[in-house]
Structure 1
Amino acid sequence: MPDFSGVSDVDSSSSATENPQFVDRFSRKFYYLRLSITDVCNFKCTYCLPDGYHPTGKKNSSFLNQAEIKRIVHAFADCGTTKVRITGGEPTLRKDFNDIVASVAQTSGITKVATTTNGYRMAKQVGDWKEAGLTHINVSVDSLDPRLFHQITGENKFHDVMTGIDRAFEVGYQQVKVNVVLLKQFNGHALPSFLNWIKDRPIQLRFIELMQTGEMDELFQQQHQSGVSIRNHLIANGWLLKVKEANDGPAQVFVHPDYQGEIGLIMPYEKGFCETCNRLRVSATGKLHLCLFGEEGVELRDLLQQDEQEKDLIARIQGALDTKSVSHFLQEGKTGMTPHLASIGG
């Protein structure tokens, strides 16, 4: 049975760390850093890298090293950040992934260390991730049909990923989050099978609306599906909205007394989606992104070379926050400069 403490039918945020330094001009406070450590991915998902990964070839495009990562996380932690999500690409492709996890986990003030993975290495490595200090895992599983999974991802790895999720529970994770990008023609009618899957499993299944990026206008027009119909179905069938913590992501999470699992909905096209933004992004090459969409990013790497530069680093981040827009404007058809989600960590 799920824990119904803190559950209500009205969304409200809990109190957070007092007086964080990172605040924008709309009084939004930032407790959550999404840190990319590589833009390389070994899957070829139709909505992200349908032709597979291709290096950018840009000068000075090497990925952040461990010392630089340690400095950026320390600066964010000193300014109120409590959660770091290690992203990619596929972050576990980094040979030093476990060392990076350990470094983040050992940073004072960081209470949640998460990663988002395609799961292909989970079965063999998830125990090592937990030992290193990884507290939360998100796995991408866009279909429970192995054939469709292969078609969407370009890889015949469905059973490997399912084994990895089972293994995560075996090594002690109390919950695994599973990300499902809503694709009208692939999984748009798969809610019953997903609900059946999580009935007796502590999985938070998160339906994510397909977002339009610079390289997939046609796919977006063909496959975009709103999460509103799913939300309406859940509410009509006794699901209750769960109260968010200050460093939670943007998902609206629903729970039900008859289900061990939970359902999350991420609907970036819904009015007011950006009002509760609490997260910033740093790319694998050291650029601060105030939003997943819309701008080139602010260079931070020159201020990641010495511990003594933290004051200047914090000042640059706060200065950028003073220019952060009120919205991503996706609902107006503006996709910004993001070519695909792997480029800055999704």
Structure 2
Amino acid sequence: MKREPEERRPVLTDRFGRTIDYVRIAVTSACNLRCTYCLKDNAPAQTQRLASADAVRLIALLGGMGVKKIRFTGGEPLLHPSIAELVSIAKTTPGIDAVRITTNGVLLDRQLDALIGAGLDGVNLSLDTLDRDKFISITRRDRFEQVRNALDKLLATPGLTVKINTLMLRGINSDEIPAFVELTRSHDVTVRFMELQPFDDSQIWRTGRFMGAEMIRERLVGAYPELEAITGHSTEHYSFRLPGHRGSIAIIPAFSRNFCSSCSKLRITADAKLIGCLYHHESIDLAPALNGEMNEEEIKKRIIEAVQQKPKDGLKSSHDTAASSMSRIGG
């Protein structure tokens, strides 16, 4: 299928001149872990799932409006029964250049081959510890062996962009920085140490477990004074490489700093809500449009409306960020 030349593609631009070309689609709110910084162990079992037909329709519209990158999230996206098919459809949609997924890895070992066959470009593996007992404590589920197998398979897969998202929790996994850094020695992987955000179902945010980016950097540089600074992704405030290592290391200050000035994202939740900003609860309901009550032009108007609602600085203007779980926001 012939794609439009780059210069002829439409562009979504918000009120502040930011180009919106990246959409994160939560295909389900269900998750097979219960991480202490996300969901309570007794969280309601009722979940939402974005219908495949709705996802396909939205991807086609977004690709025609200038969106270049799709990331499937959740909940846990591998719980969606058609996830490989959705990857394939997104990958062959005109306008879409990159299709990636963020996963906790529990089901990845058995699904990775199908996802790669569908054209998947990259995987972000959410993994906070390399210790089985700590894994059970953090996730409240005994799934470490499955995730470790998935990690090993990812690291052995050529041509796939692999990032490990490690959320740092003071006194819990803060002693494991060297173990994660060691993964970059022989593998072309980016290990990303991340700050806790206040989207934890009111569980541990105020317990002193927060570990800021500066503290992470100090520990990292203290352990590895030979670190070389490099240029990373826009959200990777600090990026480093160790001499002789194939991979890289990054620090993402998800709370102490924000990246609103360069934000290029929209989010679609599993119940078809379109969110322009991670830190705001305002959303535009796409469900009526997807149920056939609106034509494509009207749906496009709703997407444009969400883009225009994006605040200049969402974190500063937010008044209530601690009420929601990231599983309900869509990653």
Q: Distance in 2 between matches of 1:340 and 1:120?
A: 20
Corresponding position of 1:278: 264
Q: Which amino acid aligns with 2:279?
A: F
Match of 2:119 among 99, 115, 133: 133
CA contact (8 A) 1:140 1:178 kept: yes
Moved more, 251-260 or 159-168: 251-260
2:76 and 2:104 in contact (8 A); partners too: yes
Q: Which residue of 1 aligns with 2:181?
A: 195
What is the rounded CA distance, in whole Å, between the counterparts of 2:7 and 2:22 in structure 1? 12
Determine which of 198, 202, 211 is the counterpart of 2:197. Answer: 211
Matched residue of 1:329: which SS? helix
Structure 1's 272 and 175: CA in aligned 2 closer, same or farther, altered over 3 A?
Answer: closer
What's the counterpart of residue 61 of structure 2? 75
1:46 aligns with 2:46: no
Which of residues 90, 93, 97 in structure 2 aligns to 1:104? 90
**Of 159, 163, 171, the match for 2:145:** 159
Mapping 1:322-337, distance limit 5 Å: 322-329=308-315, 334-336=319-321
Distance across 2 between alignment mates of 1:53 and 1:105: 34
1:345 corresponds to 2:330: yes
Q: Distance in 2 between matches of 1:161 and 1:214?
A: 22
Higher mean C-alpha deviation, range 126-135 or range 155-164: 155-164
The C-alpha deviation readout for 1:227-272, integer Å capped at 9, x for no partner, is 123335449533223254xxxx623343333221211222133445
Q: Distance in 2 between matches of 1:201 and 1:52?
A: 38
Cα deviations across residues 28-56 of structure 1 (Å, max 9, x unaligned)? 11111000010000101010013154245
Answer yes or no: is 1:29 the counterpart of 2:14.
no
CA distance in 2, matches of 1:94, 1:269: 30
| Contact preservation (8 Å) 1:34, 1:279 | yes
Alignment of 1:106-125 (within 5 A): 106-125=92-111
Q: Distance in 2 between matches of 1:254 and 1:263?
A: 5
Q: Is the 8 A contact 1:102 1:133 kept in 2?
A: yes
User: Aligned match of 1:264 in 241, 247, 250?
Assistant: 250
The question of whether the paired residues in 2 share the 8 Å contact of 1:213 and 1:335 is answered with no
| Superposition TM-score, scaled by structure 2 size | 0.88
**Cα pair 1:71 1:310 within 8 Å, conserved:** no
The answer to whether the Cα contact below 8 Å between 1:127 and 1:171 also exists between their aligned partners in 2 is: no
- TM-score w.r.t. structure 1 length? 0.84
Q: Deviations over 1:168-205 (max 9, x none)?
A: 34443444211111111212232222212322122211
Instruction: Give the distance between the partners of 1:97 and 1:192, measured in 2 at CA.
Output: 34
Deviation at 1:71, TM superposition (A): 1.3
Structure 1 equivalent of residue 230 of structure 2: 241
CA contact (8 A) 1:41 1:89 kept: yes
Kindly tell me: are residues 140 and 78 of structure 1, through their superposed partners in 2, closer, same or farther at Cα, counting changes over 3 Å? same
1:317 to 295, 300, 303: 303
Q: Provide the secondary structure at the position in 1 that maps to 2:101.
A: strand
Residue correspondences, number: 322
Q: Is the CA contact 2:279–2:318 (under 8 Å) kept in the aligned structure 1? A: no
The whole-number CA distance in structure 2 between the counterparts of 1:89 and 1:295 is: 18
1-structure distance, mates of 2:137, 2:257: 32
Deviation at 1:80?
A: 1.4
Distance 1:114 1:307 in 2: 31
Task: Check the 8 A contact 1:169/1:175 in 2, yes or no.
Answer: no
Given that residues 211 and 220 in structure 1 are in contact (C-alpha distance below 8 angstroms), is that contact kept between their aligned partners in structure 2? no
Q: Give the 3 Å change call, closer, same or farther, for CA 49–173 of structure 1 in structure 2.
A: farther
Query: 5+ unaligned residues in a row in structure 2: which ranges?
Result: 1-5
2:111 is paired with a residue whose SS is: helix
For the residue of structure 2 that corresponds to 1:322, the secondary structure is helix
**How far off its partner does 1:75 sit?**
1.5
Residue 237 of structure 1 aligns to a residue whose secondary structure is coil
Q: Take 1:242 and 1:302, find their aligned partners in 2: how far apart are those partners? A: 43
> CA 1:193–1:169 in 2, change beyond 3 Å: closer, same or farther?
closer
SS of residue matched to 2:55: helix
The CA distance in 1 between the partners of 2:69 and 2:84, in whole Å, is 17
Higher relative contact order (CA 8 A, sep 6+): 1
Structure 1 residues without counterparts, runs of 5 or longer: 1-15
Q: 1:327 to 1:217 in 2, by over 3 A?
A: farther
Alignment pair present for 1:294 and 2:280: yes
Q: Is the 8 A contact 2:284 2:306 kept in 1?
A: yes
